[in-house]
Structure 1
Amino acid sequence: MLTITAYGLAIALNLLCLLIGARFLLAPRPAAAGYGVPAKEYSVYLTIKGLRDGTYGLVGLALLAFAGAHAEAWFMLVVALLPLGDTLIVLRNGGAKAVAFGVHFATAMLILLTAALLFAL
Structure 2
Amino acid sequence: MLSAIAYGLAIVLDLFIVFIGARFLLAPEAAAAGYGVPAQRGDSAYLTVKGGRDFSLGLIGLALLAFVGAEAGAWFMLIAALMPLGDTLIVLRHGGTKATAFGIHFATAVVVLISAALLFAL
Scaled by the length of structure 1, what TM-score is found? 0.98
Partner of 1:66: 67
Distance across 2 between alignment mates of 1:48 and 1:114 = 26
Q: CA shift at 1:40, angstroms?
A: 2.0
Question: Equivalent residue for 1:84?
Answer: 85
Measure how far apart 1:26 and its partner are: 0.2
Which portions of structure 1, spanning 4 or more consecutive aligned residues, are displaced by more than 4 angstroms?
A: none
Q: Which position in structure 2 is the counterpart of 1:43?
A: 44
Report the residue type matching 2:24 in the other structure: F
Q: CA separation in 1, counterparts of 2:68 and 2:13?
A: 17
Q: CA deviation at 1:49?
A: 0.3
Q: Which residue number in structure 2 is paired with residue 112 of structure 1?
A: 113
Q: CA offsets, 1:67-118, max 9 Å, x none?
A: 0000000010000000000000000001011110000000000000000000
Stretch deviating more after TM superposition (71-80 or 37-46): 37-46
Number of aligned residue pairs: give it: 121
Question: Which structure 2 segments of 5+ residues have no match?
Answer: none
Q: Aligned-pair distance for 1:27?
A: 0.2
Query: For residue 8 of structure 2, what is the amino acid of its counterpart?
Result: G
Q: Aligned equivalents of 1:103 and 1:53: distance in 2?
A: 16
Measure the CA separation in 2 of the matches of 1:30 and 1:6: 31
- Separation of aligned partners in 1, 2:44 and 2:67: 35
Of all paired residues, the percent bearing the same amino acid is 70
Task: Output the amino acid matched with 1:22.
Answer: A
Counterpart check, 1:19 vs 2:19: yes
- Structure 1 stretches lacking a partner, 5+ long: none
